[in-house]
């Protein structure tokens, strides 16, 4: 897929966070978004995901072609069903088991690309599927959120502070998952204060003039 952002502007409470923001991303590309608190990093991801309405500008998506068919025409509007948005909340129901939480999420999102057991194993939570989500540590809950990215494939990952609560091993795991996604032709935008354990294709500093 290809994502084009043109002269995007976002406000919060009538106060402009950023304006005139433009960039394009194609298959296998990663954008790391940095900036001070309140610069609009989370708001940018939410606008692309369709969770926040920009005050100006356009978001254009060119989705991938299906074998034997012509590639669809670019569409203007948020990424919506083409993206996974991982925000600050882990979105786990505390009284349900970890596996049940993932099963419910998979039911909403559509046909899975792998089993829950495989996804849990890939994020280092194998053997914990029967535990109530409330029993998990903050780092384990974050790993569970990463498992959701694997269950159902989406070409665009929008990750807001994904290293939060992760230990060094968890950060390395996250880096490996992002590399795997990019190698498969995916696109990722990561808002973070912490350096990622992978090289970025592009770094965008919000709150600073674009060059």
pLDDT of 135-170, one tens digit each? 999 999 999 999 999 998 899 999 999 999 999 999
- The helix, strand and coil proportions of the chain, stated in percent and rounded to the nearest 5, come to 30, 25, 45
Tokens of 181: 């996604």
What is the rounded average pLDDT for all residues in the chain? 88
Could you tell me the pTM of the whole model? 0.90
* pLDDT the model gives residue 22: 97
CATH H-level, domain 2-205: superfamily: P-loop containing nucleotide triphosphate hydrolases (3.40.50.300)
pLDDT band at 77 (very low <50, low <70, confident <90, very high): low
- The mean pLDDT of 96-111, rounded to a whole number, is 87
Question: Dihedral, CA atoms, 132, 45, 63, 3, nearest 10 degrees?
Answer: -150
Report the run of H or E that residue 137 belongs to, with start and end: none
Largest CA distance in the chain: 50
End-to-end CA distance of the chain: 25
Residues 6+ apart with CB under 8 A from 163: 170, 171, 174, 192, 194, 196
Tokens of 42: 């989370």
Worst-scoring range by mean pLDDT, 73-87, 141-155, 183-197? Answer: 73-87
């Amino acid at each position: 897929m290809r994502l084009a952002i043109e002269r995007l502007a976002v406000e919060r409470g009538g106060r402009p966070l950023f304006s005139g923001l433009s960039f394009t991303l194609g298959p296998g590309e990663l954008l790391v978004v940095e900036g001070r608190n309140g610069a609009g990093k989370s708001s940018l991801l939410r606008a692309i995901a369709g969770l926040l309405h920009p005050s100006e500008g356009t978001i254009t998506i060119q989705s991938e072609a299906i074998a034997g068919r012509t590639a669809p025409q670019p569409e203007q509007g948020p990424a919506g069903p083409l993206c996974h948005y991982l925000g600050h909340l882990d979105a786990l129901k505390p009284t349900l088991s970890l596996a049940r939480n993932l099963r419910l999420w998979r039911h909403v999102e559509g046909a899975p690309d792998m089993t829950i057991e495989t996804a849990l194993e890939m994020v280092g939570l194998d053997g914990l599927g029967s535990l109530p989500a409330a029993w998990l540590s903050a780092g384990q809950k974050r790993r569970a959120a990463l498992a959701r990215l694997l269950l159902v494939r989406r070409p665009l990952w929008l990750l807001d502070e994904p290293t939060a609560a992760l230990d060094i091993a968890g950060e390395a795991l996250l880096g490996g998952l992002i590399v795997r996604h990019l190698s498969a032709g995916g696109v990722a935008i990561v808002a973070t204060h912490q350096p990622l354990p992978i090289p970025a294709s592009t770094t965008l500093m919000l709150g600073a003039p674009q060059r």
